[in-house]
Chains A and B, each alone.
Chain A
Amino acid sequence: MSRISIRFIAVVLSFAFISPVFAAGLPQVRMFTTGGTIQSKGAHRQKLMEYSDGKVSPEELIADLPELKQVAEVSYTEIANVGSPGVKTDILLKLANEINAWLAKPESAGAVVTHGTATLEETAYFLNLVVKSNKPVVMVGAMRPFTAVSRDGPMNLYNAVRVAASPTATGYGVMILLNDEINAARDTTKNNTYRVETFVARDLGPIGFADSDRIVFYRRPIYRHTYKSEFDVSKLTSLPRVDVTYTYQEEDGTAIDAFAAAGAQGIVLTGGGGDSIKKAQAKGVVFVQSDRKGSGRVVESERSAERGIVTSDNLPPQKARILLRLALTKTQDPKEIQRMFAEY
């Protein structure tokens, strides 16, 4: 028994010495800030909604978390400081280019992106398709503002930096980290308006966890992403216009007519559409069939193929839109776009 204990203590000690060894050359993580709740202040600490009483700068975020110094050397690039509905194509392109420039440096370990949670999943999936690196990129946000009681932002940010600094996080594509869970950008969606347990990959679940003892992964995404992606936005200044229609009883295609008139090159459907689809197709608009249920795949079918409509696999409409925008930078051929939807 004493032999067993000695071996065990030896293992324990070797674990205990890991952090001082690392401290000598901490990994370099760059934080790209775009704003959102994690960078918002409320007038008082019980204010959990409509908290637009002040913004948090990147310096404040870092100063607020002295513990970061133990896990990484953190620098920052401020991209924007807006709520996530305000994240538009120019911000997306700037973010992608800045992240690619950072990750191309040999000394960089990974990147963290602060973002409002409402459209965080869309930016995450966009980056998942255009970042040219296998280094970790971690999207982070908060459900409660910087000033709130029991705010979740600091632990989320601390864990996001840990994952971005971790060599074990290599090659998983862009990740989303809130509430200790590591989720894959492609599969994860915001699932609740206010609770801290909001980001969920409905069909599949998280790929790992940022636990106190270690960063642990259980799953590796199979669909193509980041360094295996064919999409490149480095030379683009805009992206094709793609809109989304929502279907319901008596939906009659009015929105499709209007989007086509406004110059949409692609439209993501959640069903329905009526005769407006054929009219828009005649003008060259490409259609992708997604679904409003939020779980399960829109399967490839002969009927869809005959109608020239691409099926979205299990991408929700807002993510099918991102992929279609990028697909349209390469081709208008529904067959080729269908291939992309089966691979990304």
Chain B
Amino acid sequence: MSLLFTHQNLRNVLFACALTLARPAFAQEIPTYAPPPAMPASTVKLPTVMIMSMGGTIASRGEPRLNITNYGGKGVPRVDPQDWYHDLPELAGIAHIVLEDQRAPQDRAVTETHEDLARVAKRLNEIVKDSNIDGVVVTHGTNTMAEVAFYMNLTVKTDKPIVFVGSQRPWTGLSGDGPRNLYDAVRVAASKEARGKGVLHCMDQFINTARDVTKTSAYRVQTFKGIDVGAIGFADPDKVVFYREPVRRHTTQSEFAGGDFPTVPGVEVAYSYREAPGYLIDAMVEHGVKGIVIDGTGAGSPTSSQTEAIKRAQEKGVVFVVTTRTRSGRVQDTPRRRESKIVPGDNLPPEKARILLQLALTKTTDLGEITRMFNEY
């Protein structure tokens, strides 16, 4: 049997899971502070969860085990999806696991691009139509996972749980957070309560929404937080529990959902600070971008030089959205902002405003329409 289970040979995997269940297996080395829930009497009733790897620290190895900053890289073996399954036999107690590898080749020179997002979104749109699959867990590196999750939140048409997960320490790290996070993400993806809440994120026991979650700390394990609005639930030892439903449109309610976007219009981000110049914006326009997100100071203000460059760019049809570098609070709709024809980015961070603007620009360049989208998503 092939080591790598693909979605296509689901039957083999289910068979393999059943075999695993027969073994008494609780590996000592797995960091876990709670006993796993009792195995159900009939494993037939277990939900089926796909674990899809987009790589990340959770899929990385480092030597020695105190190496938690300089791991992975060329020539270092990665953690393949079946390694997770092998190292976490408890997974078999909570779900039938199907594994899928969506990692870029290890030797590829470029970091993740839009093509990777489009490919995975398309694949997720296929998978969720499969009645055998109850939920999907997607692993990703933590640096950009929040914006990738937000892209899926807008483009995947399903009410089945899709849960993004990663780790702050490599799979091999001392007190590595990966195993617990992966186990909890599968529990969330397997839970009925997680349905219809959009794309979710689960690390360090916190369940956050794709729209609002952001990485707040470079190395601490408690890094992902919901900007302004907090978590919506927890993967606690006794149960997966939800306290909040997101109000903003997502997944089944998204006008972008189910769409295939092999390419999207170029959108870049310009940061604001005292004396931030206009020429960077000119260069972006020269390069051919269709939209620019200004990450403004305070309530969302560019400098006077940036403002002049914005006017020049608007003459050429470039659409502007403004966010705030405070990383909390909404950029509000004001008469002055309307006059300057800049779309307020609500409380999205610039990297997520960029994703929404890219998708918006596939449909329209009308500022009223784009303002509506930023109010609704």
Q: Is the CB of B247 within 8 A of A297?
A: no
- With CB as the reference atom, state the residue of chain B lying closest to A220: B245
Q: Is the CB of B230 within 8 A of A204?
A: yes
- With CB as the reference atom, state the residue of chain B lying closest to A181: B228
Q: Is the CB of B231 within 8 A of A219?
A: no
Q: Is the CB of B332 within 8 A of A204?
A: no
Q: Is the CB of B243 within 8 A of A222?
A: yes
Q: Using Cβ atoms and an 8 Å threshold, which residues of chain A touch B231?
A: 203-205
Tell which of A8, A208, A222, A300 touches B341, judged by Cβ atoms closer than 8 Å.
Answer: A8
Mark contacts of B313-348 with chain A using CB atoms, 8 A cut-off: 1 yes-contact digit, 0 otherwise. Answer: 011010000000000001011100010010010100
- With CB as the reference atom, state the residue of chain A lying closest to B227: A205
Q: Is the CB of A1 within 8 A of B317?
A: yes
Q: Using Cβ atoms and an 8 Å threshold, which residues of chain A touch B248?
A: 218
Chain A stretch 188-229: residues in CB contact (< 8 A) with chain B: 201, 203-209, 211-214, 216-223
- Give the docked Cα–Cα distance between A184 and B272 (Å): 34
The verdict on B177 contacting chain A, using a C-beta distance below 8 Å, is: no
Whole-angstrom distance from the CB of A297 to the nearest CB of chain B?
A: 6
The verdict on B241 contacting chain A, using a C-beta distance below 8 Å, is: yes
- Give the most central of B248, B346, B368: most A CB within 10 Å: B368
Chain B stretch 221-262: residues in CB contact (< 8 A) with chain A: 226, 228-232, 234, 236-239, 241-248
The verdict on A24 contacting chain B, using a C-beta distance below 8 Å, is: no
Tell which of B226, B238, B330, B332 touches A205, judged by Cβ atoms closer than 8 Å.
Answer: B226
Q: Using Cβ atoms and an 8 Å threshold, which residues of chain A touch B315?
A: 1
Q: Is the CB of B330 within 8 A of A219?
A: no
The verdict on A262 contacting chain B, using a C-beta distance below 8 Å, is: no
Q: Is the CB of B242 within 8 A of A297?
A: no
The verdict on B366 contacting chain A, using a C-beta distance below 8 Å, is: yes
- Give the docked Cα–Cα distance between A187 and B242 (Å): 13
Q: Using Cβ atoms and an 8 Å threshold, which residues of chain A touch B332?
A: 211-213
- Give the docked Cα–Cα distance between A5 and B365 (Å): 11
Tell which of A187, A204, A209, A300 touches B239, judged by Cβ atoms closer than 8 Å.
Answer: A300
Given A187-B243, A221-B243, A297-B236, A8 contacting B333 (CB threshold 8 A): no
- Give the docked Cα–Cα distance between A10 and B232 (Å): 37
Chain A stretch 1-56: residues in CB contact (< 8 A) with chain B: 1, 4-5, 7-8, 10-12, 15
- Give the docked Cα–Cα distance between A297 and B365 (Å): 47
Q: Using Cβ atoms and an 8 Å threshold, which residues of chain A touch B6?
A: none
Q: Using Cβ atoms and an 8 Å threshold, which residues of chain B touch A1?
A: 314-315, 317
Mark contacts of B297-323 with chain A using CB atoms, 8 A cut-off: 1 yes-contact digit, 0 otherwise. Answer: 000000000000000001101000000
Q: Using Cβ atoms and an 8 Å threshold, which residues of chain A touch B234?
A: 203, 297
- Give the docked Cα–Cα distance between A206 and B247 (Å): 13
The verdict on B30 contacting chain A, using a C-beta distance below 8 Å, is: no
Q: Using Cβ atoms and an 8 Å threshold, which residues of chain A touch B143?
A: none
- With CB as the reference atom, state the residue of chain B lying closest to A311: B238
Q: Using Cβ atoms and an 8 Å threshold, which residues of chain A touch B314?
A: 1
- Give the docked Cα–Cα distance between A207 and B212 (Å): 12
The verdict on B371 contacting chain A, using a C-beta distance below 8 Å, is: yes
Q: Using Cβ atoms and an 8 Å threshold, which residues of chain B touch A258?
A: none
- Give the docked Cα–Cα distance between A222 and B236 (Å): 17
The verdict on B367 contacting chain A, using a C-beta distance below 8 Å, is: yes
Q: Is the CB of A204 within 8 A of B366?
A: no
- Give the most central of A213, A217, A221, A300: most B CB within 10 Å: A213
Whole-angstrom distance from the CB of A68 to the nearest CB of chain B?
A: 21
- Give the docked Cα–Cα distance between A221 and B247 (Å): 10
Given A204-B232, A213-B332, A297 contacting B338 (CB threshold 8 A): no
- Give the docked Cα–Cα distance between A181 and B330 (Å): 12
Given A5-B341, A299-B237, A219 contacting B333 (CB threshold 8 A): no
- Give the docked Cα–Cα distance between A299 and B241 (Å): 10
Whole-angstrom distance from the CB of B321 to the nearest CB of chain A?
A: 13
Chain B stretch 159-190: residues in CB contact (< 8 A) with chain A: none
- Give the most central of A7, A204, A221: most B CB within 10 Å: A204
- Give the docked Cα–Cα distance between A203 and B246 (Å): 16
Q: Using Cβ atoms and an 8 Å threshold, which residues of chain B touch A249?
A: none
- Give the most central of A8, A203, A218: most B CB within 10 Å: A218
Q: Using Cβ atoms and an 8 Å threshold, which residues of chain B touch A5?
A: 341, 367
Q: Is the CB of B246 within 8 A of A12?
A: no
Tell which of A4, A201, A205 touches B366, judged by Cβ atoms closer than 8 Å.
Answer: A4
Q: Using Cβ atoms and an 8 Å threshold, which residues of chain A touch B212?
A: 218
- Give the docked Cα–Cα distance between A5 and B315 (Å): 11
Q: Using Cβ atoms and an 8 Å threshold, which residues of chain A touch B244?
A: 204, 207, 219-222
The verdict on A237 contacting chain B, using a C-beta distance below 8 Å, is: no
Tell which of A11, A211, A213, A220 touches B247, judged by Cβ atoms closer than 8 Å.
Answer: A220
Mark contacts of A326-337 with chain B using CB atoms, 8 A cut-off: 1 yes-contact digit, 0 otherwise. Answer: 000000000000
Q: Using Cβ atoms and an 8 Å threshold, which residues of chain A touch B344?
A: 213
- Give the docked Cα–Cα distance between A204 and B212 (Å): 12
Tell which of A8, A214, A217, A223 touches B368, judged by Cβ atoms closer than 8 Å.
Answer: A8
Q: Using Cβ atoms and an 8 Å threshold, which residues of chain A touch B228?
A: 205-206, 209, 218
Given A211-B330, A213-B332, A299-B236, A7 contacting B368 (CB threshold 8 A): yes
- Give the most central of B228, B229, B369: most A CB within 10 Å: B229
- With CB as the reference atom, state the residue of chain B lying closest to A299: B238
Whole-angstrom distance from the CB of B259 to the nearest CB of chain A?
A: 23
- With CB as the reference atom, state the residue of chain A lying closest to B338: A12
- Give the docked Cα–Cα distance between A222 and B226 (Å): 17
Q: Is the CB of A216 within 8 A of B330?
A: yes
Whole-angstrom distance from the CB of B76 to the nearest CB of chain A?
A: 37
- Give the docked Cα–Cα distance between A203 and B229 (Å): 10
10 contacts between A and B (CB under 8 A): A1-B315, A1-B317, A7-B368, A203-B234, A211-B332, A213-B332, A217-B247, A219-B245, A222-B244, A299-B236
Measuring CB to CB, which residues of chain A are less than 8 angstroms from any residue of chain B?
A: 1, 4-5, 7-8, 10-12, 15, 187, 201, 203-209, 211-214, 216-223, 297, 299-301, 313
Measuring CB to CB, which residues of chain B are less than 8 angstroms from any residue of chain A?
A: 212, 226, 228-232, 234, 236-239, 241-248, 314-315, 317, 330, 332-334, 338, 341, 344, 346, 365-369, 371
Known pairs A15-B333, A220-B244 / 12 extra A-B pairs, C-beta < 8 Å: A4-B366, A5-B341, A5-B367, A187-B243, A201-B230, A204-B231, A205-B229, A206-B228, A214-B333, A219-B229, A220-B246, A220-B247
Question: Lowest 6 A-B CB distances belong to which pairs?
Answer: A205-B230, A11-B368, A299-B238, A213-B333, A8-B367, A219-B244
